[in-house]
Amino acid sequence: MRALYLSLAFLILIFQGSLAQSKGKIQGQVKSSDGNPVEYVSVQLKGTSRGAVTNNSGSFEITGLNPGSYTVVASFVGLDTQEKSVSISAGKTEVVDFFLSENSGDLQEILVSANRESYTETRISSSLRINAPLIEIPQNIQVVNRDILDDQQVISMSDGLVRNVSGAVRLEHWGDLYTNISARGSQIQALRNGFNVVASYWGPLTEDMSFVERIEFVKGPAGFMLSSGDGSGLYNVVTKKPTGQTQGEVSFTVGSFDLYRTAVDLDGKLNKDGRLLYRLNVAGQQKQSHRPFEHNNRYTIAPVISYRVQPSTLVTFEYTYQRANMSDVGSYYVFSPYGFATLPLEFTSMPPGMPETKINDHALTANLQHEFSPNWKLTAQATHMIYNQEGTSMWPASVNPDGTMIRAVSSWDALSKMTMAQIFVNGEFRTGAIRHKILSGLDMSNKAYWADWGQYHMLDSIGAEFDPKNPYYGVPVNGYPNFDYSTPIEQRGQGGNINQRYSAFYAQDELAFMEDKLRLTLAARYTEISQAAYGGSPITAKRVTPRVGVSASVTPNTSVYGLYDQAFMPQSGQLSSGGDVKPITGNNMELGLKRDWAGGKWNSTLAAYRNIKQNELTADPNSPPNSGLSIELGEKTAEGFEVDVKGTILPGLNLVMNYAYTDSRVTKVTENVTVVQEGDIIPGYARNTFNTWLGYTIQDGTLQGLGFSAGLTILGGRETYWDASPDPNEVLPTYTKLDAGVFWSKGNFKVNLNVFNLLDEYLYSGSYYAWLNAYNWQTDPPRNSRLSVSYKF
């Protein structure tokens, strides 16, 4: 690890001389005649191989140009090519804008019929606040865009999405109830459009991909986003917004285990001048499981309205409703004292006839963006979210040495209410030769969560235990649960209540030197937070967390960076010693190398990091399990390195490939703590993760539009999540999953068939559970397939 740090630092020194080179750049925007940005327009320098493609805001940038005269050419299939001359001076930026004679509505037929698939993204969304190209941001940030989601037939956040990000793994399934992604040794935070939507340890509800545009993964502490949270990172779900183009798409998907799904995406204008826009996404699915008696039916509606009050002011209102009808969420776990995978892959302990779990998830968001000038922009947004769950969770009351068990069911009703608001300013100015990019803002949040687990029912009894070797799926001897829901959840759920309030102020300045080739980020966040959990008294904390980053452009397409960032997270509990509970504190040190290849058609990121966390609570092993008493663990350190490669490697060949090495251990132990020792592994990750996804489309000839895909996931050195196995030989094996597919597209029409787990492996994740003296695991589906048909109009 030290050798890698030194190597990356040495790279910075080797290329230091090249930072003094004097280059210029061209940037601009392509719009239609009615003022709407146009995406996927090719902008090239005539007579050279240099160029760019406009992004979803119609913007482009061509950097690293020698002084001289150039001809800039903007072209697109079916449009008149436009040319403009420009003169480049050393260290200067020239702005070249294009206006297409056709309006965005006329362009749509051309846009949807063109081959515009790309796995690469050059910028992050505005909801992540930083106004800079990805290659210049001193942090490992990976974007999973719509093209990747469609090719891999990802229909929810927990549906194989993490294969596209180095080191990201899912520890538990929970039947698509919530995602629970781990990276760099810990669970990362879940955001939507820049809001932290985590209200409890079991949320949020996984987003249906029908209303999602992209997902952005930020590794390590993110002081520019998080007021508090685990320092391992976050993922930000960016929802679809109106584009100003009249277009639509309808898709149908069928698959194994009775999957039937329909999704409709409508995008357009509500008035002639294009100031009032809309986007509407609707989806519905019915889905069963490879285990009997399980189902997960979901319905989603997500309307969005945008209104341009004036050329510099845009207001957007967005509502998202998700409805889920699921079988009991605890049924996905399997328990046995004999070891992992000792029961058939399709085994379940859940009898038919169990009550459903029903979830209603609402989110209403308002967003205001105002440009004071081309260099200064204000963003203000607020959201109110309500999550309501009524259901049950199976869990064994006991597991006998012979494998028989008494199945039990508890209520799991939950209510979450969150109100959050943000306001921030992005600006740019110069002081002499130094360019400043300013980010400053205020975050506020009020979250409340109630859960009722207090109602309990045993399905079996002593002498009439459930036998997994000879399962009986009739009516249980004690019948089905019939819980009382007449009392409001706010009263029933006091024992599972979590409340959190925070306010935070953040300020950042990115100073650019040497004609923007060397960039220094200086930032700090001040946070006041109060949190109470499970009936305990509120715990308050105030802290300033600094952030320092350096990014250097070694060449126009290559950058190296270093980062130091801090995070902290309040935690609730009661110490056995009777002392005050401290918040979790942590810091991240990271070095990285980023490069865009082949004119930006594909890119790569290499990052090495060390993430340190202190004061984390763990249950006191010397107290009864239900005592609620905790001890402070000490210090945990996660370190490793990550490699991500993504984009169009050759014409028609798209690639996602990543590898991560992760090591997470206890590095200091609190005095008198004996449950762990220095050097012990912290469970909950895979030491080695490797993923790849290849897709090739035939570019011409009779078979033009026909394509093939293949994906491989390998998770090695998986560390269990709960308790250490009493048998050192009983460990999680290497997880290997192979997928393959075939697709065909012509014009607006596309057919996509994927076969997952092609080798039909017994795949699972799990852990030992000392309280039951049993192993538990959750199986992935055996070989299965999905067929999608979509049409764009």
Q: Would you list the DSSP string of 645-665?
A: EEEEEETTEEEEEEEEEEEEE
Q: Which residues, in sequence order, are CB contacts of 672 under 8 Å at separation 6+?
A: none
Task: Evaluate whether residue 182 is within a structural domain.
Answer: no
Q: What's the pTM value of the predicted model, to 2 decimals?
A: 0.85
Under the banding of pLDDT at 50, 70 and 90, the label for residue 77 is very low
Q: Return d(Cα 690, Cα 709) in angstroms, integer.
A: 17
Look up the CATH number of the domain holding residue 262.
2.40.170.20
Residue 472, both tokens: 């009986």
Higher per-residue confidence, 729 vs 79: 729
Higher per-residue confidence, 148 vs 202: 148
Q: Is the pLDDT of residue 324 over 60?
A: yes
Task: Evaluate whether residue 221 is within a structural domain.
Answer: no
Higher per-residue confidence, 706 vs 721: 706
Mean pLDDT of 204-228: 89
Element containing residue 148 per DSSP (H, E): helix 146-151
Task: Evaluate whether residue 155 is within a structural domain.
Answer: no
Q: Which of 223-237, 412-426, 710-724 has the lowest mean pLDDT?
A: 223-237
pLDDT of residue 76: 67
Q: Return d(Cα 514, Cα 79) in angstroms, integer.
A: 39
Q: Which of 136-140, 231-235, 583-587 has the lowest mean pLDDT?
A: 583-587
Domain that holds residue 37: 2-107
Q: Which of 234-238, 532-536, 543-547, 777-781 has the lowest mean pLDDT?
A: 532-536
Task: Evaluate whether residue 192 is within a structural domain.
Answer: no
Number of domains in the chain: 2
Residue that terminates a domain, selected from 75, 107, 139: 107
pLDDT of residue 172: 74
Task: Evaluate whether residue 611 is within a structural domain.
Answer: yes
Task: Evaluate whether residue 180 is within a structural domain.
Answer: no
Average pLDDT over the chain, rounded to an integer: 88
Higher per-residue confidence, 229 vs 513: 513
Higher per-residue confidence, 219 vs 586: 219
Higher per-residue confidence, 394 vs 199: 394
Q: Which residues, in sequence order, are CB contacts of 431 under 8 Å at separation 6+?
A: none
Q: Return d(Cα 770, Cα 730) in angstroms, integer.
A: 14
Under the banding of pLDDT at 50, 70 and 90, the label for residue 95 is very high
Task: Evaluate whether residue 49 is within a structural domain.
Answer: yes
Beta carbons within 10 angstroms of residue 430's beta carbon: 10
Residue that terminates a domain, selected from 68, 83, 107: 107
Helix ranges (DSSP H) in 153-205: none
Q: Is the pLDDT of residue 300 over 90?
A: yes
Residue that terminates a domain, selected from 50, 73, 107: 107
Q: Is the pLDDT of residue 539 over 90?
A: no
- The answer to whether 326 touches 356, Cβ cutoff 8 Å, is yes
pLDDT of residue 402: 96
Look up the CATH number of the domain holding residue 6.
2.60.40.1120
Residue 407, both tokens: 């199945």
Beta carbons within 10 angstroms of residue 637's beta carbon: 18
Task: Evaluate whether residue 528 is within a structural domain.
Answer: yes
**Residue 19 is which amino acid?**
L
Q: Return d(Cα 188, Cα 98) in angstroms, integer.
A: 42
Q: Name the residue among 509, 605, 599, 594 with its Cα closest to residue 553.
A: 594
